[in-house]
């Protein structure tokens, strides 16, 4: 008697068969739930990173103002461009100007003369604001690198929507900016 036993057949899916409709629906549902939980956190993270970038641009301009003032032996002014509003004085951007005649006053002729402006920075996106303490629109750095007059200045880079995370920049009379991360912004 010749008994021939066949091995049990397994259900083998063809190589290109893909997913069943139920597997696809479950996968899409899991991804939708994960995205629903992740998106609000990402929005806050992106806003905080934009504020950090804006603060970095401002600190870079302050550093350049200080460097140029020391290098040239003349005052350099970081000034908000016209078009800013109260609470967002630097909305239109800012410029660095060299006081070429050394008298401590920027005249219209000095603003227009070469090498001015030393730097011209575009304003932040409308979703951000840059606010200086006391509505300050001008920071003057003396030829020694110190602020003129010698007083501390605080600048905040924040999303326009209050309650979000922003960045505070502290500028002591020495003119060397200190960036404080993660402040809660008020509207």
pLDDT digits (tens, 9 = 90+) for 26-54: 889 989 888 888 777 777 788 888 889 99
Task: State yes or no: pLDDT of 146 exceeds 80.
Answer: yes
d(CA 97, CA 9): 84
Question: What residues contact residue 105 under an 8 Å CB cut-off, 6+ apart?
Answer: 99
Confidence category of residue 162, pLDDT binned at 50, 70, 90? low
Contact indicator for 80, 89 with CB cutoff of 8 Å:
yes
pLDDT score for 11: 57
d(CA 109, CA 32): 60
pLDDT score for 163: 67
pLDDT 10s digits, 91-101? 899 999 999 88
Task: State yes or no: pLDDT of 144 exceeds 80.
Answer: yes
Mean pLDDT calculated for residue range 127-133 = 88
pLDDT score for 10: 60
Among residues 72, 76, 187, 49, the alpha carbon closest in space to that of 141 is found at 76
Among residues 135, 159, 132, 139, the alpha carbon closest in space to that of 53 is found at 159
pLDDT score for 165: 84
**Report field, pTM of the whole predicted structure over 0.85:** no
The sheet with strand 178-184 has its strands ordered as: 128-132, 153-159, 165-171, 178-184
The separation between the first and the last C-alpha atoms of the chain, rounded to the nearest angstrom, is: 93
Question: What residues contact residue 82 under an 8 Å CB cut-off, 6+ apart?
Answer: 92
Least confident of 41-45, 127-131, 139-143, 172-176: 41-45
Tokens matching residue 174? 């020495």
H helices within the chain, ranges in order?
Answer: 21-72, 108-112
Contact indicator for 98, 68 with CB cutoff of 8 Å:
yes
Mean pLDDT calculated for residue range 4-25 = 69
Task: State yes or no: pLDDT of 161 exceeds 80.
Answer: no
Least confident of 2-11, 49-58, 86-95, 109-118: 2-11
> What's the full length of the chain, in residues?
187
pLDDT 10s digits, 49-90? 888 999 999 999 999 999 999 999 999 999 999 877 777 889
């Amino acid at each position: 008697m010749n008994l021939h036993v066949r091995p049990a057949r397994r259900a083998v899916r063809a190589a290109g068969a893909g997913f069943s409709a139920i597997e696809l629906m479950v996968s899409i549902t899991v991804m939708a739930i994960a995205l629903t939980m992740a998106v609000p956190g990402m929005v806050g993270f992106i806003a905080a990173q934009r504020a950090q970038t804006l603060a970095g641009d401002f600190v870079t301009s302050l550093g350049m103002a200080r460097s140029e003032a020391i290098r040239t032996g003349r005052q350099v002014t970081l000034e908000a461009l016209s078009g800013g509003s109260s609470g967002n004085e630097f909305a239109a951007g800012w410029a660095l100007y060299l006081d070429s005649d050394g008298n401590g006053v920027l005249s219209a002729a000095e603003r227009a003369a070469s090498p001015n402006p030393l730097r011209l920075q575009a304003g932040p996106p409308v979703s951000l604001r840059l606010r200086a303490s006391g509505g300050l629109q001008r920071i003057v750095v003396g030829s020694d690198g110190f602020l003129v007059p010698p007083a501390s200045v605080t600048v905040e880079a924040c999303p326009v929507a209050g309650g979000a995370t922003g960045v505070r920049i502290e500028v002591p009379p020495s003119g060397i900016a200190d960036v404080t991360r993660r402040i809660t912004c008020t509207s």
